[in-house]
Amino acid sequence: MPNQRIISLLPAATEIICALGLEHQLVGRSHECDYPANIANLPVCSSAKFISGSNSAEIDRQVKEILSDSLSIYEIDRDLIKQLSPDVIITQAQCEVCAVSLNDVELALKDLLEKECQIISLQPNGLDDIYQEIQLLADQLGVPEAGAELLELSEERINIIQHKLKFISDRPSVACVEWLDPLMIAGNWTPEIVEIAGGTPVLTLAGKHSSYINFEDILKANPDILVLMPCGFSIQRTLQEINLLLDLPGWTDLKAVQNQKIFIVDGNQYFNRSGPRITDSIEIMAEIINPKQFVFGNEGNGWLHFRV
């Protein structure tokens, strides 16, 4: 298949494209695409309408306000896309908040390009969806073998974890917080990640969207382990707002707090992205839940043990 001009408007898709060896075909990216580092010089084809430096509550307020007006929270640079003349644009239909959506792209492309452009939309809800869509993207971009090799390597890494945990019966309860204010519990593929890593996810269901909860729900569940993974936040960004939890009445009553089992992960780079590094996310969670069995070298980069 000849070289295609590809624009990726989804960080996970950008990572998939590069992992498939097609980085040289990328001609544009979204404002959120930041991995691998050598795609940084690509033209940026989108921007966010909300103020990214705001605190959690303010970001939530802005997003809800924009969506209540039936508007997208992202803007697409139509002039730049026309100039780049893509053959393929990759986006998503999984979440209107997380990244540029399929609807955004379809509206932006209407009567814009003078040639046919294929729109590929990803919509993963669980782990199997992520891996299937990696292969789907590899097939559609003409490199099925590269997709198969990537998935085979991921499967081997997951099998290693599952084999080592086969005879371990202790499965601590784990709550994964995806937003701090208001509180949200991580859904979609996160419960499956917890289960593979040897834990029991609480307050959530695999394959279902992340949901708002009250802190009283966390107090009632009283998890053994609490993992903080705010969507789009790095570890340092989460630490800036950690007091939102520390100041909650009843925080110190939590079993996870009393046993020093509070962990912060890089949600932006790992758990929030439905790309090939989701396997890294599984290894990170395994290190957190079963530190005696697993040391993959992610501590300090992918996750941090938070001690009060």
Residue-wise pLDDT for 148-196, tens only, equals 999 999 999 999 999 999 988 899 999 999 999 999 999 999 999 999 9
Per-residue pLDDT tens digits for 268-307: 999 999 999 999 999 999 999 999 999 999 999 999 999 9
Q: Which residue from 175, 207, 209 is spatially nearest to 189, judged by alpha carbons?
A: 207
> CATH 3.40.50.1980 occupies which residues in the chain?
6-149, 172-306
What's the whole-model pTM score? 0.92
Asked if residues 22 and 3 have their Cβ atoms less than 8 Å apart, the reply is: no
Class of domain 6-149: alpha beta
Burial of 117 per CB tally in 10 Å (0-12, 13-18, 19+): middle
Per-residue pLDDT tens digits for 63-90: 777 666 545 677 888 899 889 999 999 9
Per-residue pLDDT tens digits for 205-231: 888 988 999 999 999 999 999 999 999
Q: Which of the four CATH numbers 3.40.50.1980, 3.30.70.100, 3.40.190.10, 3.30.365.10 does domain 172-306 have?
A: 3.40.50.1980
Taking residue 114's Cβ as centre, other Cβ atoms within 10 Å add up to 8
Gap between the Cα atoms of 57 and 47, Å rounded:
20
Gap between the Cα atoms of 73 and 98, Å rounded:
9
In angstroms, the Cα distances linking 253 to 54, 185, 264, 308 are: 30, 19, 19, 13
What is the chain's mean pLDDT, rounded? Answer: 90
> Helix or strand or coil: residue 180?
strand
> Helix or strand or coil: residue 65?
helix
pLDDT of residue 97: 54
- Radius of gyration of the chain from its Cα atoms, rounded to whole angstroms: 20
